[in-house]
Structure 1
């Protein structure tokens, strides 16, 4: 191994496991990670094998536990999530979404041919109408959608004096973050879902999104299931 790991297909890893005494890899595993639920096998020769939870998307062969533990601690496996979502593609900007509002406003202005300099409900209305139209024509990108979430979320945040919060989820291998709004009552508003559902069903009435500020679960309750990061300046 040039690095301390190799990316391999599932059948290759299963074959390697069988040659090292694991005759039934579907049953004879050591444990599952509590983050992405990947299957982990610690072999007698010191190697560690990790296979994605569905057994369909390959995995990794690690030279030793030290290598494996280091990557687990970093929370970033050197293999991409299959079927990447908009949250995967925009992960770096989403991590600092509260500082990327101008970027996303400028992005939508450029793509949609507007010139809004301020975040207003009027701007949000124009943006979502245009994005819905482009979605029908299959022109909408993941960046467009995250930009719309950022714009609607920031307008809501300012109106209710809330905060951005990132809810951490896991794909087959690696984490991604869903940007949401935390209201003053410490309840999480899934602004991301509201925007994406509106786009899916071609709903352009912005009050449906921006007036829904009660929130669902509390931050405390949500943290029982997902790590949450409240973004502050």
Structure 2
């Protein structure tokens, strides 16, 4: 596994690459890093060139001088692809990483071949009510602390990716034409009707609900998830 820091217009992004084959980009969720894919990297790098990225403001990647947004983070991915000399990638996006994959696929469609979205939501109110309330309370708490602490101000920007910065529209999702697998847990923090709405808006999508699983189904049922994702990626070759 090779670790590297990739330059962007506003700081460096950390990632680890391993394996050979078609490129597969792994995008983690809010306040996480590439290590959330500990059960996926050693599985997929047997047949894929795996790129496990720490998104901007997370892990060992720089936060940058300007506020976080999905547009900025999507451009980060373009920088990663350019640095690695890749035209396009397939993606596994978990939670906010799935939301970022949605943004990338709708705004830069030529850069994504296929994607698996795990516990993604294109609107903040796609979260169950109690979970959305937690995001709001966390944001306001960090907003107050951020007046006195730079570290907490940056954390507030990360949390805000789940609220004000999540600005995808139904029209954005309708523009997505690549093969997409939408995955959620039966006990996910995402509303079932929201997951279904995403499936209906993306004409080229499939939907799978993991029984007796939560938002973290990749960690709870890694073997089942990994084999399902490989079947999806290798279908219609």
TM range (shorter): under 0.3
TM-score (norm 2): 0.25
TM-score (norm 1): 0.25
Structure with the greater alpha carbon radius of gyration: 1
Counting strand residues as a fraction of each chain, which structure ranks higher?
2
